Amino acid sequence: MAILADQIEVYIKNLLALSQTGIIELKRTDLAETFLCVPSQINYVLSTRFNTQQGYVVESRRGGGGYLRIIKLSMNNDAEFQRLLTAANGQKVSRQTGEILLDRLVDEEFISMRESLIIKAMIDDSVLKVADNNSELLRGNLLNALLVTLMRENFS
């Protein structure tokens, strides 16, 4: 059985998939009651699995009439893709951040799951052993090259 955080994530993603606008509004307390957990568990899921790196914006208003608004960002526009491209260009990128980016590219159907697995293997720490400890910079440059290639293929 999946852990609670996984269940909450799947539930929210299913709601987003059903939304025609890519925006949903929920109450933190309603979610906590649905999953029989404390609201801080909901906060954990939102902060770790629904952040801008993963393609989401979470707006929150606390209090009696408070809500959570979760917005799924789309990479269908050049500006969002350019932001990702700029973020990877010449920057150090951790393995985890690189994998989050690749998962997002799969979610947005820019690459297949198989392509993602190949790239994840390519940017793994065990492959990027560099004598002068620049594996994060190398990973950033590799991901930048990937994004440039994708941009050329999808936007030309």
Kindly report whether the global pTM for this prediction surpasses the value 0.85. no
| Mean pLDDT, residues 101-106 taken together | 84
CB 111 within 8 A of CB 92: no
Structural domains of the chain in order of their starting residue, each with its CATH number: 4-72 (3.30.56.130), 78-155 (1.10.1200)
CB 125 within 8 A of CB 134: no
| Mean pLDDT, residues 101-126 taken together | 84
What's residue 80's pLDDT? 60
Strand runs labelled E in 3-83:
23-26, 56-61, 67-72
pLDDT in tens, 9-49: 999 999 998 998 888 999 888 999 999 999 889 989 999 88
Interhelix angle 135-155/95-107, nearest 10 degrees: 20
For residue 107, the surrounding DSSP H or E stretch is helix 95-107
